[in-house]
Amino acid sequence: MALNPGSPPGVGPYYENHGYQNESPYPPRPAVVPSAYAVYPAQYYPPAVPQYAPRVLTHASTPVIHVQPKSPSGTLCTSRTRRVLCITVALGALLAGALAAAFLLWRFMEDKCSVSGMECGSSGTCISPSHWCDGVLHCPGGEDENRCVRLYGPNFILQVYSAQRKSWHPVCRDDWSESYGRAACQDMGYRNSFYSSQGIADDSGATSFMKLNISTGNVDLYKKLYHSDVCSSKTVVSLRCIECGVSQKMSRQGRIVGGTGAALGDWPWQVSLHVQGIHVCGGSIITPEWIVTAAHCVEEPLNHPRYWSAFAGILRQSFMFYGNGYRVEKVISHPNYDSQTKNNDIALMKLQTPLTLSDEVGPVCLPNPGMTLEPAQACWISGWGATHEKGKTSEMLNAAVVRLLEPWQCNSKHVYNGLVTPAMICAGYLQGDVDSCQGDSGGPLVTLKSSIWWLIGDTSWGSGCAKPNRPGVYGNVTVFTDWIYRQMRVNS
């Protein structure tokens, strides 16, 4: 977390934290610098090893091969007995290979949609998760458009997509029960998670509702729903699948202005992501099993979950040495992440065992569609990143207040000159002063709205730390909410 008002104007390295570095991690620079790095001086080469973190030695899985001396030619299978034995061994090896191939083929056929993500029950066709709930029937029976739910606005209004009308509609509270809320939460990827379901006045301006037909008996929730222009209760369903966005910081807002140390419970969703005992990146808890971080944190070779462990509810890095943290089961980068431009810089980690939630460990809320942010909305950043450019990882968790910057400001020729895409969001101050820095990558950019904390960004990149006209750039989580829910559903 950088507090660097005295930094001279100019351009410095992007604060990417890869942790592990090969001997020569950077290929030779092309003659023309790619547009994504247009802010680099032509002669700039990133150091082979970041100065802000000690080198992480990952134990390669490549086995050590001990070569045995060859037997003298012609002595192995000369006698008849040995010749029979050799043939038997060869046939056994061929049979074993055939059995292994048959087993792998069977497993592939059994789980043929493990890559595509969804199987159409009526036909067995596999479709991509990106085709779920996109308004187009890809399954012959329409299964891909049947279970499409989302939460809308700061009041978590439950909406169901109508493939027939190609639009989203709130669910009328009439005849609603908690069991339906639990089913909807599961379909959004909240496995075994449910918080509340209640009726509130609709503020989306809807003129048509999805309503329950309870006379249909014990059938699927979505088969019970039908279109209605009338909602007798005049209320719609507000659904909370998880208690999120709760912080003890409400009474201590003055503590973090300017970048100061955090207290336990201030940012309960903040995690430290380690590789072999070393802090590499930050992340944000969204469920007891799922963490949001940056895709550039998990580029090869760190795209395998075995390297990672997560620590939550701990303020000091030195206190993390005494535990093993939570092991990671899956690492999922956004499929359209661009390592050069840092576009779509978001990734998910699924933990092997769920976190134990408490006042010090808890999820932040994902932003719902329909939420509006002010052009200069106050936001907060937190992390163990360096407190000045090229500095070391901080021992204590720090946090600071920043303000959103409009895209036209960040893309002006004096700032980032068109490098900021719609999948990115800018926050900070054009005069410098406060910023994210090395080690903060993947960590949260949050804002307080309707007394709830929302995750609107993950720390992605920036030119230097806290320099004038070089604000922080974050992955725009508001763009990725649907993608996050899809991953949670397919990997639950």
Tokens of 474: 């974050």
Q: Catalytic: 394?
A: no
Q: How many CB atoms lie within 10 A of CB 8?
A: 8
DSSP state of 257: T
Q: Which residues contact 283 (CB under 8 A, 6 or more apart)?
A: 270, 271, 272, 273, 291, 292, 293, 310, 349, 442, 443, 458
Residue with more model confidence, 367 or 119: 367
Compute the half-sphere exposure of residue 435: CA atoms within 13 Å on the CB side of its CA: 32
Query: pLDDT per residue over 289-324, tens digit each?
Result: 999 999 999 999 999 999 999 999 999 999 998 777
In the set 18, 169, 274, 296, the catalytic residue is 296
Domain with CATH 3.10.250.10 in the chain: 146-240
Contact 404, 375 (CB under 8 A): yes
Please give the full DSSP string across 187-256, using - where no structure is assigned. HTT-TT---EEEEE---S--S-EEEE-GGG-S--HHHHEEEES--TT--EEEEESS--S--GGGGGGGGS
In whole angstroms, give the CA distance from residue 56 to residue 49.
Answer: 10
Q: Catalytic: 296?
A: yes
In whole angstroms, give the CA distance from residue 467 to residue 429.
Answer: 9
In the set 441, 458, 460, 463, the catalytic residue is 441
Domain with CATH 2.40.10.10 in the chain: 248-490
Tokens of 235: 């209320």
Tokens of 68: 């045995």
In whole angstroms, give the CA distance from residue 176 to residue 13.
Answer: 54
Contact 358, 288 (CB under 8 A): no
The burial of 319, by beta-carbon neighbours within 10 Å (0-12 exposed, 13-18 middle, 19 or more buried), is given as exposed
Query: Is residue 18 predicted with pLDDT exceeding 80?
Result: no
Among candidates 115, 110, 120, 167, which has minimal Cα distance to 142? Answer: 120
Query: pLDDT per residue over 452-467, tens digit each?
Result: 999 999 999 999 898 9
Note the CATH number of domain 248-490.
Answer: 2.40.10.10
Among candidates 310, 309, 281, which has minimal Cα distance to 296? Answer: 281
Sequence letter at residue 261:
G
DSSP state of 336: T
DSSP state of 396: B
In the set 174, 202, 345, 440, the catalytic residue is 345
Query: pLDDT per residue over 398-451, tens digit each?
Result: 999 999 999 999 999 999 999 999 999 999 999 988 989 989 999 999 999 999
- Please report which confidence band the pLDDT of residue 391 belongs to, taking 50, 70 and 90 as the band edges: confident
181, containing H or E segment: helix 178-187
Whole-number percent of the chain with pLDDT over 90 = 53
Task: Supply the pLDDT for residue 261.
Answer: 82
In whole angstroms, give the CA distance from residue 125 to residue 82.
Answer: 52
End-to-end CA distance of the chain: 34
- Domain 146-240 listed as CATH 3.20.10.10: no
Q: Which residues contact 254 (CB under 8 A, 6 or more apart)?
A: none
Tokens of 476: 């725009």
Q: Which residues contact 434 (CB under 8 A, 6 or more apart)?
A: 1, 2, 3, 258, 259, 400, 401, 402, 428, 466
Residue 335: cis peptide before it, omega within 30 degrees of 0: no
Q: DSSP alpha helices (H): ranges in 7-79?
A: none
Q: How many CB atoms lie within 10 A of CB 469?
A: 19
**Model pTM above 0.95:** no
In whole angstroms, give the CA distance from residue 413 to residue 399.
Answer: 29
Mean pLDDT across the chain: 79
In whole angstroms, give the CA distance from residue 207 to residue 220.
Answer: 25
- Please report which confidence band the pLDDT of residue 25 belongs to, taking 50, 70 and 90 as the band edges: very low
In whole angstroms, give the CA distance from residue 64 to residue 85.
Answer: 29
Give φ, ψ of 102 to 5 degrees. Answer: -65, -40
209, containing H or E segment: strand 209-212
- In DSSP terms, 25 is beta-bridged to none
In whole angstroms, give the CA distance from residue 376 to residue 402.
Answer: 9
- In DSSP terms, 383 is beta-bridged to 398
Q: How big is the chain, counted in residues?
A: 492
- Please report which confidence band the pLDDT of residue 351 belongs to, taking 50, 70 and 90 as the band edges: very high
Please give the full DSSP string across 93-113, using - where no structure is assigned. HHHHHHHHHHHHHHHHHHTTT
- In DSSP terms, 330 is beta-bridged to 350
Which range, of 103-112, 353-362, 392-401, averages the lowest pLDDT? Answer: 103-112
Contact 474, 424 (CB under 8 A): yes
- In DSSP terms, 458 is beta-bridged to 444, 475
Query: Is residue 67 predicted with pLDDT exceeding 80?
Result: no
